[in-house]
Amino acid sequence: MPTEWLTLPEPQPTCAGAPRGTLNWSDRLRHFGLMAGKLRRNRLSLSSLARIQPATRRKVGTHMSKAQFARQLNLPETVAMSVALMAPTTAMVFVTPFLAQSAGSNVPLAFVVALIGVLIIGSSFGRLGRKYAHAGSAYGLVKDVLGPAFGVVAGWGLTFTYVLMTAALLAGTGEFSSLAIEQATGAHVPWSIPTLVGAAIVLGFALNNVRISVRMMLLLEGASMLLIIGVGVLILGHSNLSAGIAVKPFLLNSNGIVGIAHAMVFGFTSFLGFEGSATLGEESKDPKRMVPLAISFSALVGGLFFIFSSYTQTLGFGLSANAMHAFGADPAPLNTLIQKFSGSAFSASVNAGAAISFFACAVATVNGSARILFALARDGYAPKGLAGLHERSNTPRAAVFVVFPLGLALLGLGVLLFNTPANVLGDMSGLGAFGALIAYGLVVIASLTEYGRTDLAKRKVFALALPVIGLVLIGWVLYSSVYPVPASPVNYFPYVTLAYFAAVIPLSLRHRKRSAPENVSAYIESGDLTDVVSVD
């Protein structure tokens, strides 16, 4: 077999940061022996590799970008990505009435159940994250366990979610900014103006070093959450609680378990984005420790925030049947309660805080989707031009210039389809949830596949049960989202999602197949064969 066309990669930093030394010919032969063993494990033969004729020899590894992120983010900066992408403030501004419609006074109890479910799903991200660190988030975690095809589904699923959320969040930024300005000054500013201003600033942050973004996101989202906590304290101060009333929202009411189960669908989707830190797997200083910790911490803090805020809103409206009906029908419950207990001045502050939270989350979705697209392109599942990093900012600017305009375009489409920014916010977020749930399900399956046999052998019943429970919860949320059949346009969302996957996944896999010879593509997927070049 000729060896003149088989070359080893130039010395590159390994994942641990140690440089590879220059290999002499004895080392090269030893390396070739290792390669042969790996080829056999991948059910490929050396003869199939040798069948690449000189006339068709070409570089098959060049579509894989050698660009590397700088490992620069500490733990708080890594946490910031998940917190901002989850955007706890935004959920408390408009989601709680949907839970009240199903659970009545048990809204905070529904969030307790949702938190437990999210922590269970987060444990799958955590276990895989302690072994794999990847900029592609669910794509990277799934492909190394279930194979590239499933990884591609997970990656494009989260990209779908994040880009749709960008559109929704920009609409929310404009809507709540306009409302806050009008309440504070009396001047009416069309929502489109703060939306476009916010979009320009979002792009500016996304194009620059990620440390600037994550620090800003942590500061803004933290300030917004403190503002909502202040509203909750204000409500509690005016509630004159007795012990019996104080615990009633956590005691199962007449709506029963069925009411909790249906409310949990909205509670669960309030956590979407908690996995955002996984997109920083190649930028955290110690990703296999920091990323799992950031995901669990963000889910826990967000969940406790949801429970407290929904509890105070429930008490603020009152626990009677009429009060719960009013709660469920109120599109802006926080504004109603602030007007009731404080006045319009504080209401303007809360709306400004909500606008800030929407903005920070939009920065996070652009950062996250750009990194997943970068990772897909780096492995050949998207055009290779998207796999570059800007030399100065160390950001995937080419990918940003794809996902950001797509988000703006979807915002415009949403306005045409759904008429108002409030509808764009709700419907685009709801549509995006389907992509994330599919990605979450694949991560849980990957965790069960990776560790299930070992857990069973060691009789780790609890560890084995967690991903199974996680799959049941995800399945329930998906099922409840399609049956009973929801009203239009939500009833079309599952089919839009399926159409998206049916179009994007074959194109992505075909692009990868065209980028590498068929008889070595499976081996390249393992990451072991990094470069096959011609010297003709």
Q: For residue range 368-415, what is the model confidence (pLDDT) as tens digits?
A: 999 999 999 999 999 999 999 999 999 999 999 999 999 999 999 999
Whether 135 and 284 have beta carbons less than 8 Å apart is answered as no
Question: How many C-beta neighbours within 10 Å does residue 48 have?
Answer: 15
Predicted confidence band of residue 51 (pLDDT cuts 50, 70, 90): very low
Whether 327 and 314 have beta carbons less than 8 Å apart is answered as yes
Q: What's residue 532's pLDDT?
A: 31
Which architecture, in CATH terms, is 75-512? Up-down Bundle (1.20)
Q: What's residue 66's pLDDT?
A: 58
Whether 275 and 122 have beta carbons less than 8 Å apart is answered as yes
What tokens appear for 412 in the block? Answer: 């415009």
Q: What's residue 48's pLDDT?
A: 40
Q: What's residue 415's pLDDT?
A: 95
Rounded mean pLDDT, 347-358: 92
Q: Which helix (H) or strand (E) holds 301?
A: helix 287-317
CA angle 498, 502, 508 (to 5 degrees): 130
pLDDT over 50 at 508, yes or no: yes
Whether 407 and 166 have beta carbons less than 8 Å apart is answered as yes
Rounded mean pLDDT, 314-328: 93
Predicted confidence band of residue 516 (pLDDT cuts 50, 70, 90): low
Helix intervals (H) in 421-492: 421-457, 461-482
Question: How many C-beta neighbours within 10 Å does residue 508 have?
Answer: 21
pLDDT over 50 at 329, yes or no: yes
Whether 377 and 185 have beta carbons less than 8 Å apart is answered as no
- What residues does 19 pair with on adjacent strands? 13
pLDDT over 70 at 317, yes or no: yes
Predicted confidence band of residue 342 (pLDDT cuts 50, 70, 90): confident
More confident residue, 6 or 115: 115
Handedness of CA 358, 363, 368, 374 (dihedral sign): positive
Place of tokens 């029963």: 256
Q: What's residue 372's pLDDT?
A: 97
pLDDT over 70 at 230, yes or no: yes
pLDDT over 70 at 107, yes or no: yes
What tokens appear for 353 in the block? Answer: 């805080």
Q: How far is CA 96 from CA 14, 111, 327, 516, in A?
A: 47, 10, 8, 50
What whole-number distance in Å separates Cα of residue 115 and Cα of residue 306? Answer: 9
Percentage of residues in the chain having pLDDT higher than 90? 68
What tokens appear for 91 in the block? Answer: 């959920």
Q: What's residue 53's pLDDT?
A: 38
pLDDT over 80 at 469, yes or no: yes
Query: What are the contacts of 510-517 at 24+ separation with CB within 8 A?
Result: 511/380, 511/381, 511/382, 511/383, 512/148, 512/379, 512/380, 512/381, 515/60, 515/63, 515/380, 515/384, 516/60, 516/63, 516/380, 517/52, 517/56, 517/60
